[in-house]
Structure formats: structure tokens, C-alpha cells
Amino acid sequence: MAEQSAEVAGYTCLELNESRPDLAIQQDTTVLATHRGRGLGAWIKSANVIGLTRNHPAVRRVRTSNAADNVPMMRVNRQLGFTEEMTMENREERLADLRALNNSAASGRAGLHADPRWLRPASFTCTGAASG
């Protein structure tokens, strides 16, 4: 929260999944444009990881991701010790077409299927930050 206005200045979230107790996913780190350039993104990400190590000692790896053109967040991730492990490409498809593929999979033909390990409940730890 920004001390002057009580608005949320930054946000980040850690996801823990009981099917992978060794792994946490750090996601959705964002800082309002009016508060950028002060190290707030790095601070809230590192605060979340510090809390993670205290409260969830089984976690050995933290995964994060961001858009390739988000140079400031890539710099923050490197500063915090994250290394590039993979490159992903996101694609978009019409829901009706995805349903057709899934129906093909259900009838034994090639199609989409979900990894059931990721369908289990997850818990989230989120951190907001003051800009002051």
C-alpha cells in the first residue's frame, strides 16, 4: 500500500501445489506505473521468497515467468538469482475447437488431456507493498 494514498502499489503471488511440495510458482508480480523504478518489484518478490523459506521448508525450487519484452522484470529476476530455463510460446484458440479436440481424446483419438496432478488444490501466498 502506498502510505500517502493507501492504494496498492505492487503485488506478487506464490502458488504452492500439494502434488509438488518441492516447487513454488511465483507469478503476477506487478507494480503500478507511478511507483516503478524504485525497486519495489524486486522487494516484494524477495519478501515473498523469504516468507516461503521460513514457512515451507520443503520447497527447493521457485519458478517464475514473464514476457520476453518485459526487460525490467527480467532484470529483477536475474538480480534475484533466477536463470532462464525454458522459453514458452502462448497461443490462443477458440473454445469450441478445443472442446472438439478434447472430445477426440475422450474417444481414444489424439487430442488434449490435462495432467491430473495439477488439478489438485493449490494454496496461494500473496504480498502487497507500500511505496513509501
pTM higher than the cut 0.85: no
Lowest mean pLDDT among 14-28, 74-88, 91-105: 91-105
Q: Which residue has the higher pLDDT, 21 or 90?
A: 21
pLDDT digits (tens, 9 = 90+) for 27-85: 889 899 998 889 999 999 999 888 998 999 999 999 988 888 888 888 888 888 888 88
pLDDT band of residue 112 (cuts 50, 70, 90) is: very low
Locate the domains of the chain by residue range. 1-87
Fold assignment, 1-87: Aminopeptidase (3.40.630)
Give long-range contacts, CB 8 A cutoff, 24+ apart: 40-44: 40/9, 40/10, 40/129, 40/131, 41/10, 41/12, 41/72, 41/73, 41/76, 42/76, 42/79, 42/80, 43/10, 43/129, 44/10, 44/11, 44/12, 44/127, 44/128, 44/129
